[in-house]
Amino acid sequence: MERERFASSPIGDLLPISGTDGRGQQYEHVAFAAHPLNTPPALATNTWNRVSRASRALGRLQQGSLVVINPGLLRQPTFRREAQSTSALEGTYAPLEDVLAADVIRGSDRSAALNEVLNYVAAAENGFRWAQQQRPLTVGLLCDLHRTLVDGTAADTDQAGRVRRIQVVIGSRGGRVTDARFIPMPPGPALDAGLQDLMSWMQSDRQDLDPIVATAMAHYQFETLHPFNDGNGRIGRLLIVLQLVSQGVLPEGLLSVSPWFEKRRDQYQELLAQVSATGEWDDWISFFAEGIEMSANDSADRIRRLLELQSSYHERLRSAGARGAVRDIADLLIGSPYVNIPNLRDATGLTYQAVSNAVRKLEELGILEQRAVPGVMAFRAPEVVAIVSAPSHG
């Protein structure tokens, strides 16, 4: 980390640190300790225009979610798409189709990467339920999310679900502290207090602060504090959605932000560092608001296309004289495009034979096709998969 770049920051201090790095070498360097968030920043007109566009895009996404009879169906592909992308940003890659098919893949046949991605899905579901119940976002919640995220991974140590007790660095391929792109504040009481202050700030009733601006500032602060040994990027991006849900801006959590940020990783990292170095918020908040706008538009478009596909399914079934179990299963495919006979039997309560007959009919109509996944023969809805996995716009 370049001392000179951050030495004059108006929103943080450089603190001396020393110890032994990942290569076993002694070091003496500095870390950046961000001041608590305080007054709303003064933003340029262009930035406010971008924030306004993001607000309108979230409004359209909210309106689209209101027409969904069972929004929980659409949360599954949204969470899984987000899980795959946010994990890829941190170097854990599992193909999106494997993530979508995970419910029909036996646990013993899942890769370590896939299990880690599914941990994110579980954390997102828990966090969404918490926020939707209007419970305050707390340090305890973050620790629970972290524990779920790292379960069964290399980071599942005695530090799982706890604010870190070691110094971490960001962007040091060789393990040298002095080579790091950024060094967050040391562990200890100040870090604990900083994270608690952030969560309290997020819960405060700030009439003077636009929700998107508040979310952008909170995301910067969380990533700059870097409170956990591992998983900070994934939890920080999940916290974006949870904060918007908590503020009532996004009722159903049908927003996937990581694909947009994943395409702009270098710019994302540089703008966060720029805030720390200069205390100027405009570029970061404008960038963040653009990401929210584009992600909301993309999510709304996918919801629209999935609902249109569902209507198309209904028309095909009516034309074929199919009803009952066939339609029930077709509706489930919008949220779960990979199925097999046992999990459909469990989901519908139908007999094995009734499910088999319905699946056969859906195959005849081209709605389902056989697809081999690791360890099992399953069926997939190719049109749903195509919509969920299509590249993001923008």
> Are both 352 and 265 inside the same structural domain?
no
Q: Identify which of 221, 247, 56, 286 has the alpha carbon closest to the alpha carbon of residue 137.
A: 247
In a domain, 222, yes or no: yes
> Are both 117 and 261 inside the same structural domain?
yes
In a domain, 311, yes or no: no
Indicate the residue among 299, 334, 361 that finishes a domain.
Answer: 299
> Are both 290 and 327 inside the same structural domain?
no
Q: Identify which of 220, 211, 221, 219 has the alpha carbon closest to the alpha carbon of residue 246.
A: 211
Beta bridge partners of 274: none
In a domain, 307, yes or no: no
In a domain, 247, yes or no: yes
Strand order in the sheet with 376-380: 338-339, 376-380, 369-373
CATH number for position 375: 1.10.10.10
Q: What pLDDT score does 252 carry? A: 82
Name 286's Cβ contacts closer than 8 Å, sequence gap at least 6.
Answer: 46, 47, 50, 51
Assigned token pair, 249: 């801006």
> Are both 104 and 135 inside the same structural domain?
yes
Domain tally, the chain: 2
Question: What is the extent of the structural domain holding 382?
Answer: 321-389
Q: Identify which of 112, 114, 85, 82 has the alpha carbon closest to the alpha carbon of residue 98.
A: 114
> Are both 295 and 328 inside the same structural domain?
no
CA distances, 180 to each of 13, 22, 169 (Å): 17, 12, 6
In a domain, 195, yes or no: yes
> Are both 36 and 133 inside the same structural domain?
yes
> Are both 161 and 237 inside the same structural domain?
yes
Asked whether the whole model's pTM tops 0.75, one would answer yes
What is the full per-residue pLDDT of the chain (394 aa) written as tens digits?
889 999 999 999 999 999 988 778 899 999 999 999 988 899 999 999 999 999 999 999 988 777 776 777 788 899 999 999 988 888 889 989 999 999 999 888 899 999 999 999 999 999 999 998 989 999 999 999 999 999 999 999 999 999 999 999 998 777 788 889 999 999 999 999 999 999 999 988 777 899 999 999 999 999 999 999 999 999 999 999 999 999 989 878 889 999 999 899 999 999 999 999 999 999 999 999 999 999 999 999 998 999 899 999 999 999 999 989 999 999 999 999 999 999 999 999 999 999 999 999 999 999 999 988 877 889 999 999 999 999 887 6
Assigned token pair, 290: 């653009």
In a domain, 121, yes or no: yes
> Are both 350 and 283 inside the same structural domain?
no
> Are both 219 and 97 inside the same structural domain?
yes
CATH number for position 70: 1.10.3290.10
In a domain, 394, yes or no: no
> Are both 58 and 166 inside the same structural domain?
yes
Q: What pLDDT score does 107 carry? A: 84
Using CA atoms, how far apart are residues 77 and 319, in angstroms rounded to an integer?
28
> Are both 209 and 352 inside the same structural domain?
no
> Are both 222 and 337 inside the same structural domain?
no
Q: What pLDDT score does 394 carry? A: 64
In a domain, 26, yes or no: yes
